[in-house]
Structure 1
Amino acid sequence: MSAPLKIKPLAESVVNKIAAGEIIVAPVNALKEMMENSIDAGATTIDILVKEGGLKILQITDNGSGIDKSDLPILCQRFTTSKLKTFEDLSSIQTYGFRGEALASISHIARVTVTTKTKNEACAWKVSYSAGKMMGEPKPIAGRDGTIILVEDLFYNVQSRLRSLRSPSDELAKILDCVGRYAINSKNVGFSCKKFGESQFALTVRNEADVRERVQAVFGRGTASNLIELEVPEIQGLGASASGQVSTLNFINKKSISPIFFINNRLVTCDPLRRALYQTYSSHLAKGNRPFIYLNVTIRPELVDVNVHPTKREVRFLHDEEIIEQIASQLADVLSNCDTSRSFKTTSIFTQKPVSIKEGLGKPHSQIINNLPVTPLGNKVKRQENKLVRIDASQTKITNFLKSAEYTGEAEESTLHKQPYEDDSPHAIDHTSESMQLQENWVVDTPSRRTPKTSSYTVSRKMRVEVNLASVNTLRKEADSNMNKDLTNVFANLTYVGLVDEQRRLACIQHDLRLFLVDYGSICSELFYQVGLTDFANFGRIYLVNEDESAGIREEGLSVGSLIEEIVSSRGGSVAELIRPLWDMREMLEEYFSIELYGGDNQVENTKIKSLPLLIKGYIPPLSKLPHFLYRILTKIDWSDEMKCLQGILKQIALLYVPEMIEQIDPEDSSIEEEERVRYLADTENMEKVLEETIFPCIKKRLLAPRGLLKSVIEVANLPGLYRVFERC
């Protein structure tokens, strides 16, 4: 049996390191101790400088009373303090510090330099410390009243502690959180915290700021704007009172903020109080929401034991259950009073689940958008140039308010008709219980190409029709279920950049920090199909008129047979046989799709098409595609199956509305005819205008992007990537 080991006293250096490890666990603990000393010294401004999370440099500068030169030799010795003389003084202690261990502990695990000046001295004194001892004599230097404590190479001799710490950015976040909490509670004391080498402050709080301004500086305007005052008057017989700020029931924050509790101005954690207040909130808030709580509890000093925890993060006090119950009761009364008016905000407008086709039916878009929640302002963050979105998807260009110089007086008259309807969504029609009709005059250019001459809007009263067809509801649900949430979010918050290739129908859009190349032909096809589903049986109308000015002829409608004759002759078949099912379904086509046919009672070959559906106000489909649209309606629709029939017609209407491809030419090529060059430039300019002012705004508001559109969207660049290559943008 081996002999028992001898008991020996530990070396003083070992004792000091062990004690230091209990008190200084991380850089934030060292800062907390020094910051409390500054407040005890009556400082009104406290400036903090941090390098590598406080491990390399942690400096605090204050304008307090300073340290007398005669006290410098024992400043970093253990159990030396100016705030406590006898043990009984703990029962009435009003200062943060009282043990005299903080600076001593720091000096055993870091290199400490102190520069201080009192108002009675002519100069400041600078001296360094190591292992609790002063290194040499204080040196006189120029300086202002107050104290500067510089801590370098924290934990340089405790490698195990150094390795256990998290990244410098995490340690900096802890420091900012600690400084922010003291800043909220320290009336008439200004705080600033800056990362070494940076010109901007990570946190700054003015000394004259009130409590709400301090909360705003630390946690952001979204938090500060949702606060109510909580006052607990002195509780009879318990010697306690409380005051602070708590969040209203409208407050929603994705990141939970742990409660800020001060007891007799000491930052502490008090789990019983936290649980009681959270329990009070739980009966008012939705599950998962956490409130913001700042509370300063004042208790008679003789009822509080402050010497409980090495880092002073906990205290004990008498009558704790009764005091906590009274505070929770007062909070319940305050919340009950403000519960009469609440707003429920589930998420921000940019991540809101898009309104489904079924949900959007019968509601104006202005009403839908206005009912969406607004993004709460988050915590104040540092501006990062390589992640800065310089173009807001909600902003408007000044060119949107300018009229084209080529408008004629007749066109301006049309603008006056459109003026009361600023919403370019067809839902604006529903809001006024009116349906929009468009009348077009057309001149024949070639057998296959028709171009608009003039247009005007007229308004007719029409109540919105509620559609309960099972087939239509099934198609709407199918569109909802096929939605890709991420892609829909991209389209909902896009910024139109410009037309890239009018022949291949390519355009560029920006979302957040990314630039995308999109096939607007495919996107428009899906958009107009969904618009057709949403406004089924509630379309406006485009009235077609055949006009020959030279002959003085003006006829309503266009001959279906004449329109498709060229296509039918090239592919074979009988015009009459093709038109027959169309004529038989004319009532359904007019009721559901605003496609009005007439003139075929005696001979179907005489059938004329009088109107087409108007899907979006301000955009007329390319009617040069009308012959092919009619031919596909006649040959590709399954008239025997209701769902296939309705879906097929909606698909063909969507294809009609897809912008035409414009064949590219080189405007600088001298071999090109002037007329062709002018027409190309005009067509391109018009396409750019339609995309920017009509189609893409509609895409933002109404498109539920299906998964199939993923292949039509390609990311071509992103801002952080460009910064890595060019180092600027």
Structure 2
Amino acid sequence: MAADHESAASNLNGPKPIRRLEEAVINRIAAGEIIHRPSSALKELLENCLDAGATSIRVTAKDGGMKLLQVQDNGSGIRKADLLILAERFTTSKISSFKDLERLTTYGFRGEALASVSYVSQLSVVTKTKSDTCAWKATYVDGRLASKDGSPAEPKACAGNDGTIINVENLFYNTPTRLSSLRGSSEEYSRILDVVTKYAVHNPHVSFTCKKSGSSAPDITTPSGSSVKQAIGQLYGQTIAKELLETKVSSNEDSSMVVDEAEEAWAAEVFFTSPNYQAKKMVFLLFINHRLVESPRIKKALETIYTGILPKGASPFVYLSLQIDPRSVDVNVHPTKREVHFLDEEQTTQKICDAVHAILVGQNQSKTFEYQTLLTGSTAPAASQSRKGKERARREDEDEPGESSSPAPFAVPAPVKKLAPNHKVRTSQQDRTLDSMFPVLAASQQPSINDADSGQRVAAVKVPEIVASECNLASVLRLRQEVERAKHEELAEILQKHVFVGIVDLGRCLSLVQHSKKLYLVNHGALAEEFFYQLGLLQFGDYHRIKLEPPPPLQALVELAVEAEDTSESKLSKADIVDVIVETLLARREMLKEYFSLEIDANGYITSLPLLLKDYTPNLDKLPLLLMRLGPQVNWHSEQECFESFLRELAFFYVPEPLVPGPTEAESADAAAMRWQIQHVLFPAMARYLLPPKTLVDRDVVQVAHLPELYRVFERC
């Protein structure tokens, strides 16, 4: 009732008056619609560079573009007279009347990009035209010329090259809510790289460079004068470039990319991967009239084409450049021009999809598959094998589940026959493991599954959920794709459906697992090293952390490891080697913290390490060895090789193995804890997430027994 009285009182007082908003509020609201994050500001600035005819564009970012976003081009520049109104709203050189929108061929046209940036950042411009004798620098605040030192607000002469340099500093400094909603600097920088990558693919005639402020090596660099396919290979990897197919489609019968004078004419150029390429997530680049846009409808239509061609869960790479008569396109439907509408969108999309599908079907019919019939430990039947032996082998193969080449037709089920002992497959976790056959030495060695003799029971450990991080770095994406392509299907099935038998030799990292009727001796150290490398790639830039309290000193740990090494072949003394390694790691503290969660404070103390798998603790005795190897074993000068070599060293650190095996009670307790982690954490996690490569088959997974063959031996005895 109280609420009703308040409402009635409000009605008696009348409606609230309508007021005109202040100009500053209006401008910041408009800026918020256009500039969502550093990458959206960069998109606007890149389009201005391309409109200016630039052939070289350099992007520099600090703290993910939030502290500094600098874009430099060698385009036509800006006249000094135009600098007075450069950052005011609705000032543009692209259009002069509303009718100009019907034949728009440039990226920008509303004149709001630089104005919006100036309302949410500290904007400065250095520009020079070819006719100017010097460059001019201007600073803007809230769309107007400003001065930092109190001098008159006007452009000032300075040195500079032809073109324009735009500096965006302290983005969203006056809108703290928007600033706090942004992701970390690593995520924002990844979005910047994604924007630069896409525009570099579509504009292969332009040289693009993108790097972090203070970094000597760029993260993206492309030459000018290349082709679209070459740009895709350089930016997304040669794995994709080798599988690219190409087609050109147009509204006319021919496939010319020249747009016809007639209304609603269009032409498209499509680069798409063949059925041999597979990825977990679709990469889709869509440009309409050279403008980077999004279209869920077109993306879904192209993705549907691959449904019957690629395996379930696999996705392609598609780049589509669509040129449409400007009179048929409405580019003014979204503040950031992220979406556009055009006439006959459904018919245009259908024709493009039909052309792509026709090529894919032809490729799929000629596709060849490589597979291995025997994993290991098997031989082909001898030519002199007796008919009776062949018949017996045939019957045994038919009895083995999952081996039949075609399913039997539907029929009345026959009476179930009693399975012979040599064809029984152990699947129950209540059966005895190898450890249960030996006496228990300590309380920590108690079995954690049902033991048929002792009757003790401990709750099983749940496999932790591992979520892939969102990463747009081309080098990391290429490494992930290499892991997926190297997967060995048969070994993956063995690991997914295995039954753990026991650890044979902890020091040599040997364990026994059973799959179906076969027993395998596996090097769990080699499997673990590959597994933790894949976990490092999967969670790149978004690791959980192991806090070290108290934090150990980096210098002391490296000295400990170097002292134990034989350095006689090195020209440096052990003290010099330690200094070089420590200086190398300290110089890259920020990168190690941002990408790998390896945190070293300013005083040289290690405060945290990356945690790759919950409920699994690496052997910290190996930490000095890890730090020592990071110096010489990591290629710090090439991005992809740096990430790969660092993650390989981190994976080696995570391998479960005793550093120095010994018989003492403390070492026995550590070994027992390590055995528990291997059985109850490592093997279940590998069964769920590991994509084993073929290289593991050659020497690290060996078949040691086959149940039917063992029974034959016993029969002869």
TM-score, normalised to structure 2, is 0.53
Bigger drift between 299-308 and 218-227 goes to 218-227
Structure 2 equivalent of residue 513 of structure 1: 652
Structure 1 Cα separation of the partners of residues 700 and 522 of structure 2: 17
Determine whether 1:26 maps to 2:37: yes
Which of 508, 516, 524 in structure 2 is aligned with 1:477? 516
Q: Please say if residues 518 and 703 of structure 2, whose CA atoms lie closer than 8 Å, have aligned partners that are also in contact.
A: no
Structure 1 equivalent of residue 284 of structure 2: 259
Q: Please say if residues 286 and 292 of structure 2, whose CA atoms lie closer than 8 Å, have aligned partners that are also in contact.
A: yes
Structure 1 Cα separation of the partners of residues 312 and 46 of structure 2: 37
Structure 1 Cα separation of the partners of residues 195 and 332 of structure 2: 21
Q: Please say if residues 191 and 205 of structure 1, whose CA atoms lie closer than 8 Å, have aligned partners that are also in contact.
A: yes
Structure 2 equivalent of residue 299 of structure 1: 324
Higher strand residue share: 1
Q: Please say if residues 181 and 260 of structure 1, whose CA atoms lie closer than 8 Å, have aligned partners that are also in contact.
A: yes
Report deviation, 1:513.
Answer: 3.0
Q: Alpha-carbon deviations, 1:131-154, whole Å to 9, x = none?
A: 000111111111110000000000
Secondary structure in 1 matching 2:13: coil
Structure 1 equivalent of residue 705 of structure 2: 533
Report deviation, 1:490.
Answer: 4.1
Structure 2 equivalent of residue 322 of structure 1: 347
Report deviation, 1:187.
Answer: 3.5
Code of the residue aligned with 1:245 in structure 2: it is: F
| Higher Rg of the two aligned structures | 1
Structure 2 Cα separation of the partners of residues 529 and 296 of structure 1: 48
Structure 1 equivalent of residue 305 of structure 2: 280
Secondary structure in 2 matching 1:127: strand
Which of 242, 249, 264 in structure 1 is aligned with 2:268? 242
Q: Please say if residues 249 and 285 of structure 1, whose CA atoms lie closer than 8 Å, have aligned partners that are also in contact.
A: yes
Two-structure CA RMSD over aligned residues (Å): 4.0
Percent identity, aligned pairs only? Answer: 38
Secondary structure in 1 matching 2:57: strand
Structure 1 equivalent of residue 180 of structure 2: 163
Which of 489, 496, 502 in structure 1 is aligned with 2:527? 489
Secondary structure in 1 matching 2:192: helix
Structure 1 Cα separation of the partners of residues 357 and 288 of structure 2: 21
Q: Please say if residues 129 and 163 of structure 2, whose CA atoms lie closer than 8 Å, have aligned partners that are also in contact.
A: yes
Code of the residue aligned with 1:477 in structure 2: it is: S
Secondary structure in 1 matching 2:195: helix
Structure 2 Cα separation of the partners of residues 95 and 224 of structure 1: 30
Secondary structure in 1 matching 2:277: coil
Structure 2 Cα separation of the partners of residues 162 and 123 of structure 1: 37
Structure 1 equivalent of residue 91 of structure 2: 80
Q: Alpha-carbon deviations, 1:24-50, whole Å to 9, x = none?
A: 011011000000000000000000000
Q: 1:62/1:484 Cα in 2 relative to 1: closer, same or farther (>3 Å)?
A: same
Which of 224, 228, 233 in structure 2 is aligned with 1:216? 233
Q: 1:138/1:280 Cα in 2 relative to 1: closer, same or farther (>3 Å)?
A: same
- Which aligned pairs between 1:452-463 and structure 2 lie closer than 5 A? none
Determine whether 1:133 maps to 2:144: yes
Q: Please say if residues 187 and 210 of structure 1, whose CA atoms lie closer than 8 Å, have aligned partners that are also in contact.
A: yes
Code of the residue aligned with 1:15 in structure 2: it is: I
Structure 1 equivalent of residue 475 of structure 2: 381
Q: Please say if residues 215 and 224 of structure 1, whose CA atoms lie closer than 8 Å, have aligned partners that are also in contact.
A: yes
Determine whether 1:200 maps to 2:217: yes
Report deviation, 1:280.
Answer: 1.2
Structure 2 equivalent of residue 391 of structure 1: none
TM-score, normalised to structure 1, is 0.53
Q: 1:138/1:248 Cα in 2 relative to 1: closer, same or farther (>3 Å)?
A: same
Report deviation, 1:23.
Answer: 0.3
Determine whether 1:104 maps to 2:126: no
Q: 1:490/1:323 Cα in 2 relative to 1: closer, same or farther (>3 Å)?
A: same
Q: 1:302/1:529 Cα in 2 relative to 1: closer, same or farther (>3 Å)?
A: closer
Q: 1:319/1:531 Cα in 2 relative to 1: closer, same or farther (>3 Å)?
A: closer
Q: Please say if residues 250 and 344 of structure 1, whose CA atoms lie closer than 8 Å, have aligned partners that are also in contact.
A: no
Structure 2 equivalent of residue 411 of structure 1: none
Report deviation, 1:253.
Answer: 2.3
Q: Alpha-carbon deviations, 1:130-185, whole Å to 9, x = none?
A: 00001111111111100000000000000000011111110111111111111111
Structure 2 Cα separation of the partners of residues 493 and 156 of structure 1: 43
Structure 1 equivalent of residue 460 of structure 2: none
Q: Please say if residues 84 and 90 of structure 1, whose CA atoms lie closer than 8 Å, have aligned partners that are also in contact.
A: yes
Q: 1:329/1:477 Cα in 2 relative to 1: closer, same or farther (>3 Å)?
A: closer
Structure 2 Cα separation of the partners of residues 528 and 109 of structure 1: 58
Q: 1:528/1:206 Cα in 2 relative to 1: closer, same or farther (>3 Å)?
A: closer
Q: 1:529/1:197 Cα in 2 relative to 1: closer, same or farther (>3 Å)?
A: closer
Q: 1:355/1:158 Cα in 2 relative to 1: closer, same or farther (>3 Å)?
A: farther
Code of the residue aligned with 1:165 in structure 2: it is: L
- Which aligned pairs between 1:242-641 and structure 2 lie closer than 5 A? 242-254=268-280, 256-342=281-367, 360-362=378-380, 380-381=474-475, 477=516, 479-480=518-519, 487=525, 489-490=527-528, 512-514=651-653, 517=657, 532-533=704-705
Q: 1:516/1:235 Cα in 2 relative to 1: closer, same or farther (>3 Å)?
A: same
Q: 1:200/1:491 Cα in 2 relative to 1: closer, same or farther (>3 Å)?
A: closer
Code of the residue aligned with 1:304 in structure 2: it is: V
Report deviation, 1:488.
Answer: 6.0
Report deviation, 1:94.
Answer: 0.3
Q: Please say if residues 522 and 702 of structure 2, whose CA atoms lie closer than 8 Å, have aligned partners that are also in contact.
A: no
Report deviation, 1:244.
Answer: 2.5
Number of paired residues? Answer: 421
Q: 1:528/1:134 Cα in 2 relative to 1: closer, same or farther (>3 Å)?
A: closer
Secondary structure in 2 matching 1:339: helix
Structure 2 Cα separation of the partners of residues 264 and 476 of structure 1: 56
Report deviation, 1:186.
Answer: 1.1
Q: Please say if residues 518 and 707 of structure 2, whose CA atoms lie closer than 8 Å, have aligned partners that are also in contact.
A: no
Report deviation, 1:337.
Answer: 2.0
